[in-house]
């Protein structure tokens, strides 16, 4: 009976190819899913975020932003005012923000009020996080706040 043996170099070469291909497959399967994410806030308002590989701000990154479409795609935040009993509002309008490898984005923007955003992008095509809007002294709404508003979104 004759026994067939492979040269050691051939066996090592095959093993090296398997080891090189395997991490690429694992990484590709665990990447964030790009596209449009539609969600709802704990205040009951719908919104959209886009997750794309684009130049943001100048270098190519995975970025999250509010797609163009005006108030229809922005997250509306109701902001009750404690002293007057009235309320005001603001919107979450994310400019292009790079998404780090952790998938957790922290952003703060000041316009009518200060809007603080935390988004956790998951590998399964979902997002979750919080929004919080607080009025400013300059426009007389410093006692108006949305409080912490939670949200969930999924890729559509």
Predicted local confidence at residue 7, as pLDDT: 54
Q: Are 80 and 134 contacting, i.e. CB atoms less than 8 angstroms apart? A: no
pLDDT tens-digit map of 109-133:
987 899 999 999 999 999 999 999 9
Q: Are 136 and 113 contacting, i.e. CB atoms less than 8 angstroms apart? A: yes
pLDDT tens-digit map of 5-30:
555 444 444 444 444 444 333 333 34
Residue 136 pLDDT greater than 80, yes or no: yes
Q: What residues does each domain of the chain span?
A: 32-155
> What is the Cα–Cα distance from 46 to 38, expressed in whole angstroms?
7
pTM comes to 0.77
């Amino acid at each position: 009976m004759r026994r067939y043996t492979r040269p050691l170099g051939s066996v090592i070469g095959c093993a090296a190819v398997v080891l090189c291909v395997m991490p690429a497959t694992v990484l590709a399967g665990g990447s964030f899913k790009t596209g449009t994410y539609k969600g709802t806030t704990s205040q009951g308002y719908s919104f959209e975020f886009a997750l794309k590989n684009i130049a943001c701000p100048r270098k190519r990154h995975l970025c999250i932003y509010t797609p163009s479409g005006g108030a229809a795609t922005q997250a509306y935040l109701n902001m009750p005012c404690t002293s007057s009993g009235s309320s005001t509002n603001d919107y979450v309008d994310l400019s292009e923000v790079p998404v780090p490898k952790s998938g957790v984005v922290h952003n703060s923007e000041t316009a009518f009020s200060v809007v603080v955003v935390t988004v956790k992008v998951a590998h399964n095509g979902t997002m979750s996080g919080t929004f919080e809007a607080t009025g400013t002294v300059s426009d007389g709404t410093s006692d108006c706040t949305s409080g912490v508003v939670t949200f969930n979104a999924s890729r559509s």
